[in-house]
Amino acid sequence: MTVRVSRAFEFEAPAERVWDFISDPGKRAGAISVVRDYEVDGNRATWEIDLDLPVIDRTATVETEDVERDEPRYVKFVGRSSIMRVTGEHRIEDTETGARLHNEFVVDGRLPGIERFFKKRLDVELDNLEAALRRDLELPA
Q: Which residues contact 113 (CB under 8 A, 6 or more apart)?
A: 53, 54, 55, 56
- Domain 2-137 is classified in which CATH homologous superfamily? START domain (3.30.530.20)
Residue 22 · residue 133 · CB < 8 Å: yes
* pLDDT for the residue 135: 97
Which of 73, 77, 18 lies closest to 43 in space, CA to CA?
A: 77
The torsion angles phi and psi of 113, rounded to 5 degrees, stand at: 95, -15
pLDDT digit string, tens, across residues 97-136 = 999 999 999 999 988 888 888 888 889 999 999 999 999 9
Q: Where are the domains of the chain?
A: 2-137
Residue ranges in the chain modelled with pLDDT below 70 = 54-57
